[in-house]
Protein backbone atom coordinates (compact mmCIF):
# COMPACT_ATOMS: atom_id res chain seq x y z
CA UNK A 1 0.00 0.00 0.00
CA UNK A 2 1.32 3.44 -0.88
CA UNK A 3 2.25 5.86 1.89
CA UNK A 4 -0.22 8.45 0.63
CA UNK A 5 -3.10 5.98 0.76
CA UNK A 6 -2.23 4.98 4.31
CA UNK A 7 -2.07 8.60 5.47
CA UNK A 8 -5.43 9.43 3.85
CA UNK A 9 -7.05 6.35 5.42
CA UNK A 10 -5.68 7.31 8.84
CA UNK A 11 -6.92 10.89 8.43
CA UNK A 12 -10.36 9.64 7.39
CA UNK A 13 -10.49 7.25 10.34
CA UNK A 14 -9.54 10.03 12.76
CA UNK A 15 -12.31 12.26 11.41
CA UNK A 16 -14.84 9.39 11.56
CA UNK A 17 -13.97 8.60 15.17
CA UNK A 18 -14.13 12.31 16.01
CA UNK A 19 -17.65 12.49 14.57
CA UNK A 20 -18.73 9.56 16.73
CA UNK A 21 -17.07 10.69 19.97
CA UNK A 22 -17.17 14.48 19.60
CA UNK A 23 -13.52 14.80 20.63
CA UNK A 24 -12.28 17.88 18.82
CA UNK A 25 -8.67 16.96 19.53
CA UNK A 26 -8.99 13.99 17.17
CA UNK A 27 -9.85 16.41 14.40
CA UNK A 28 -6.64 18.29 15.13
CA UNK A 29 -4.68 15.03 14.93
CA UNK A 30 -6.48 14.32 11.65
CA UNK A 31 -5.07 17.59 10.32
CA UNK A 32 -1.63 16.28 11.22
CA UNK A 33 -2.34 13.09 9.27
CA UNK A 34 -3.34 15.18 6.28
CA UNK A 35 0.03 16.93 6.59
CA UNK A 36 1.64 13.47 6.52
CA UNK A 37 -0.32 12.60 3.38
CA UNK A 38 0.68 15.84 1.68
CA UNK A 39 4.32 15.27 2.57
CA UNK A 40 4.04 11.76 1.10
CA UNK A 41 2.62 13.30 -2.08
CA UNK A 42 5.62 15.63 -2.12
CA UNK A 43 7.92 12.61 -2.11
CA UNK A 44 9.42 12.99 1.37
CA UNK A 45 10.77 9.93 3.17
CA UNK A 46 8.72 8.13 5.83
CA UNK A 47 10.61 9.65 8.78
CA UNK A 48 9.98 13.15 7.40
CA UNK A 49 6.31 12.27 6.82
CA UNK A 50 6.05 11.23 10.49
CA UNK A 51 7.79 14.43 11.60
CA UNK A 52 5.43 16.55 9.48
CA UNK A 53 2.37 14.75 10.86
CA UNK A 54 3.62 15.02 14.44
CA UNK A 55 4.56 18.70 14.20
CA UNK A 56 1.34 19.79 12.49
CA UNK A 57 -0.96 17.54 14.55
CA UNK A 58 0.75 18.26 17.85
CA UNK A 59 0.89 21.96 17.06
CA UNK A 60 -2.81 22.02 16.22
CA UNK A 61 -3.63 20.25 19.48
CA UNK A 62 -1.46 22.68 21.47
CA UNK A 63 -2.96 25.73 19.76
CA UNK A 64 -6.51 24.46 20.29
CA UNK A 65 -5.75 23.77 23.96
CA UNK A 66 -4.55 27.35 24.45
CA UNK A 67 -7.48 28.85 22.50
CA UNK A 68 -9.99 26.72 24.39
CA UNK A 69 -8.41 27.68 27.70
CA UNK A 70 -8.69 31.39 26.95
CA UNK A 71 -12.15 31.56 25.42
CA UNK A 72 -14.15 28.81 27.04
CA UNK A 73 -13.32 29.12 30.73
CA UNK A 74 -16.15 29.62 33.16
CA UNK A 75 -14.59 32.65 34.82
CA UNK A 76 -14.75 31.23 38.35
CA UNK A 77 -14.29 27.90 39.98
CA UNK A 78 -17.88 27.48 41.11
CA UNK A 79 -19.79 29.23 38.35
CA UNK A 80 -21.60 26.91 35.98
CA UNK A 81 -21.13 27.84 32.32
CA UNK A 82 -24.26 26.03 31.19
CA UNK A 83 -26.37 28.50 33.22
CA UNK A 84 -24.93 31.68 31.69
CA UNK A 85 -28.18 32.20 29.77
CA UNK A 86 -29.83 33.03 33.09
CA UNK A 87 -27.55 35.99 33.79
CA UNK A 88 -29.45 39.25 33.55
CA UNK A 89 -32.91 37.70 33.87
CA UNK A 90 -35.32 39.46 36.25
CA UNK A 91 -36.55 37.72 39.41
CA UNK A 92 -39.00 38.95 42.02
CA UNK A 93 -38.05 38.54 45.70
CA UNK A 94 -40.99 38.56 48.11
CA UNK A 95 -39.03 38.10 51.36
CA UNK A 96 -35.53 37.33 52.63
CA UNK A 97 -35.15 34.50 55.13
CA UNK A 98 -33.03 34.76 58.32
CA UNK A 99 -30.31 32.55 56.77
CA UNK A 100 -29.60 35.23 54.10
CA UNK A 101 -31.49 33.37 51.35
CA UNK A 102 -34.75 33.83 49.53
CA UNK A 103 -37.04 31.40 47.74
CA UNK A 104 -37.89 32.79 44.30
CA UNK A 105 -39.96 31.43 41.46
CA UNK A 106 -37.89 31.30 38.30
CA UNK A 107 -38.43 29.24 35.13
CA UNK A 108 -41.49 27.56 36.64
CA UNK A 109 -39.88 26.26 39.82
CA UNK A 110 -38.64 27.48 43.20
CA UNK A 111 -34.97 28.40 43.45
CA UNK A 112 -32.83 29.36 46.40
CA UNK A 113 -31.38 32.82 45.90
CA UNK A 114 -28.61 34.68 47.71
CA UNK A 115 -27.73 38.36 47.42
CA UNK A 116 -24.59 39.41 45.58
CA UNK A 117 -21.92 41.10 47.67
CA UNK A 118 -23.06 44.58 48.65
CA UNK A 119 -26.67 44.02 47.61
CA UNK A 120 -29.19 45.20 50.21
CA UNK A 121 -31.86 42.80 51.48
CA UNK A 122 -34.88 44.44 49.93
CA UNK A 123 -37.93 42.95 48.34
CA UNK A 124 -38.90 43.59 44.77
CA UNK A 125 -37.28 43.08 41.41
CA UNK A 126 -33.75 41.68 41.24
CA UNK A 127 -31.50 40.55 38.42
CA UNK A 128 -29.58 37.24 38.25
CA UNK A 129 -25.89 38.16 38.32
CA UNK A 130 -24.65 34.55 38.19
CA UNK A 131 -25.64 31.00 39.00
CA UNK A 132 -23.61 29.39 41.76
CA UNK A 133 -24.36 25.66 41.72
CA UNK A 134 -28.12 25.48 42.28
CA UNK A 135 -28.40 28.98 43.74
CA UNK A 136 -29.17 32.21 41.98
CA UNK A 137 -26.98 35.15 42.98
CA UNK A 138 -29.10 38.30 42.75
CA UNK A 139 -28.48 42.03 42.39
CA UNK A 140 -31.11 44.65 43.12
CA UNK A 141 -32.47 46.40 40.03
Task: Name the pTM for this structure.
Answer: 0.52
In terms of DSSP bridges, do strands 135-140 and 109-115 run parallel, antiparallel, or are they unpaired? parallel
The rounded distance, in Å, linking the Cα atoms of 104 and 4 is 63
pLDDT tens sequence across 86-129: 888 999 999 999 998 999 999 888 999 999 988 888 899 999 99
Q: What CATH architecture applies to the domain 81-140? A: Beta Barrel (2.40)
- DSSP, res 99: T
What is the Cβ-side half-sphere exposure of residue 126, based on CA atoms within 13 angstroms?
30
Write down the domain spans for the chain: 3-71, 81-140
pLDDT tens sequence across 42-66: 999 999 999 999 999 999 999 988 8
Amino acid sequence: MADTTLWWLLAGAAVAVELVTGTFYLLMLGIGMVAGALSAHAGLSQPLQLVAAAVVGGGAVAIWHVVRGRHFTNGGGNVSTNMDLDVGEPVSVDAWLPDNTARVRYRGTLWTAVPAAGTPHSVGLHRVSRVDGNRLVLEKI
